[in-house]
């Protein structure tokens, strides 16, 4: 197929409540949505995982816009009528990294390709479940009472796993209080690179709380430090920011730097690489789960399909739309009575974009030269 039209939509959506991590506090979801149309009339959509500032990773929205327009899209367009999702990665390989920008292109192409074939993402990826258990990520709060109230609300809503964001000064005591108040719930923590190996003795104090895992405690480039930390604490170490490819996953596993992996398609360049990471982890007996980047329905839909693969044995950050938004730009995703969310079954990403709603949240539309 050939790309006939492409455009970037800069979107800003207010969050239902501020979301604070060790990187800072977000009040809105600023993102880029890519709309692509093929010469066959198929429409492909993708949502960028990058943020307004280069804090979670080296990528940021203005950079994604620039590298996509000037370097990535021209290489893809040069394929002419031979554009397929499988050809995206080789075509873009000469451009170093920029995984979140590459994810936009690959996902939009794959969405259009699968819509033409009338095939759902879940079928293409090899999903084995129609529903996936949903966890929720709880940000850093101003007070412990606020945290306990938030966790109580999420448990009442039906979430089957709670993830607490932590940072130095907000770690041991919040976890202790949540474990004491709510008992034997599935509980894990996420440090977003906020600690160093010198904090190992402090982080070992989390062992008494029986956590599922501690996510990305050290810098993303410190695999050796994570391997040493994993030796010093009993809480399973999970890597997030450190894993940008199946090769990274294989290296981390070989170094015993982790015993769990968080797979975020936007961080690794797309769903094809995400599936490769799943396969590498499964071959080594390492459980994986699907992380989140505050996605709207455009990004949440394919994440649910990925989370239904057999190796995704831990609840992911595949929360309901209402966790972040009063109004989503697709039909809202909702928790069922068992704390699960249905995997979309329609062709492509499986959901329709609500164009009028999207227009209301769009700051500007940038046509791309094809």
Cα separation, 214 vs 273, in Å, equals: 24
Give the DSSP per-residue string, 246-270: HHHHHHHHHTT--SEEEE-HHHHTS
Helical axes 271-283 vs 85-92, angle rounded to 10°: 90
Residue 43: in which H helix or E strand, if any?
strand 43-47
Kindly list the distances between the CA atom of residue 126 and the CA atoms of 105, 122, 123, 262, 305, in Å, as whole numbers in the listed order: 21, 6, 5, 19, 9
Tokens of 303: 């994440």
Contacts of 159 (CB under 8 A, 6+ apart): 134, 135, 136, 319, 335, 339
Tokens of 221: 């480039």
Cα separation, 112 vs 114, in Å, equals: 6
- Radius of gyration of the CA atoms of the chain, in A: 20
Residues designated as active site: 165, 264
Give the residue ranges of DSSP H helices in the chain. Answer: 61-67, 73-77, 85-92, 99-117, 121-125, 144-157, 172-182, 200-203, 223-232, 246-254, 265-268, 271-283, 297-307, 355-361
Kindly list the distances between the CA atom of residue 345 and the CA atoms of 4, 166, 168, in Å, as whole numbers in the listed order: 26, 36, 42
């Amino acid at each position: 197929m050939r790309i006939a039209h492409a455009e970037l939509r800069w979107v800003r959506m207010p969050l239902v409540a501020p979301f604070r991590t060790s990187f800072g506090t977000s009040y809105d979801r600023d993102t880029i949505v890519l709309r692509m149309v093929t010469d066959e009339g198929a429409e492909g959509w993708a949502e960028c995982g990058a943020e307004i500032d280069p804090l979670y990773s080296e990528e940021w929205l203005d950079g994604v816009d620039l590298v996509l327009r000037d370097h990535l899209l021209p290489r893809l367009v040069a394929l002419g009528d031979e554009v397929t999702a499988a050809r995206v990665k080789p075509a873009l390989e000469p451009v170093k990294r920029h995984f979140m920008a590459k994810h936009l292109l690959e996902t939009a192409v794959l969405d259009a390709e699968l819509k033409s074939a009338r095939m759902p993402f879940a079928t293409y990826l090899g999903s084995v479940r129609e529903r996936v258990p949903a966890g929720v990520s709880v940000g850093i709060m101003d007070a412990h009472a606020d945290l306990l109230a938030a966790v109580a609300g999420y448990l009442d809503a039906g979430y089957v796993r709670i993830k607490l964001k932590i940072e130095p000064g907000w770690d041991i005591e919040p976890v202790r209080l949540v474990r004491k108040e709510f008992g034997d719930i599935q509980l894990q923590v996420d440090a977003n690179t906020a600690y160093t190996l010198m904090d190992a003795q402090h982080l070992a104090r989390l062992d008494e709380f029986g956590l599922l895992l501690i996510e990305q405690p050290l810098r993303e480039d410190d695999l050796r430090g994570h391997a040493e930390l994993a030796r010093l604490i009993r809480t399973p170490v999970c890597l997030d920011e450190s894993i940008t490819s199946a090769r990274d996953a294989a290296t981390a596993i070989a170094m015993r730097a982790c015993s769990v992996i968080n797979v975020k398609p936007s961080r690794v360049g797309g769903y094809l690489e995400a599936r490769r990471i799943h396969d590498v982890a499964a071959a080594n007996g390492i459980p994986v789960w699907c992380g989140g980047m505050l996605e709207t329905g455009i990004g949440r839909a394919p994440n649910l399909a990925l989370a239904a693969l057999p190796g995704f044995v831990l609840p992911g950050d595949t929360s309901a739309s209402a966790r972040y938004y009063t109004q989503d730009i697709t039909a809202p995703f909702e928790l069922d009575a068992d704390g699960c969310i249905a995997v979309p079954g329609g062709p492509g990403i499986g959901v329709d974009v609500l164009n009028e709603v999207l227009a209301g949240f769009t700051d500007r539309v940038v046509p791309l030269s094809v």
